[in-house]
Amino acid sequence: MRIETYTCPDCGTVIAGNVLLVERAITCPGLDCDRVHEFADLPEDTQGHYEENRDAYQMD
């Protein structure tokens, strides 16, 4: 399974794209960073990859 990552442009924290797929939006886990990351912030090709493989990434 391919895990795409996304780097916060404010603090450089790396966020796993599949978290955004499941949660849709998260507050940045970076220290002293309150930026909100949304699935829509991922590059379009990354979003497409996750949408196509959604079942493989479901966490429960």
| Contacting residues toward Zn ion, per CB under 5 A | 8, 10-11, 13, 28, 30, 33, 35
Pick 8 or 26: Cβ nearer Zn ion: 8
d(CA 24, CA 32): 21
CB of 17 vs Zn ion, minimal distance in Å: 15
Taken as a whole, the chain contains a residue count of 60
Pick 8 or 22: Cβ nearer Zn ion: 8
DSSP H or E run through 15: strand 14-16
d(CA 47, CA 17): 8
CB of 11 vs Zn ion, minimal distance in Å: 3
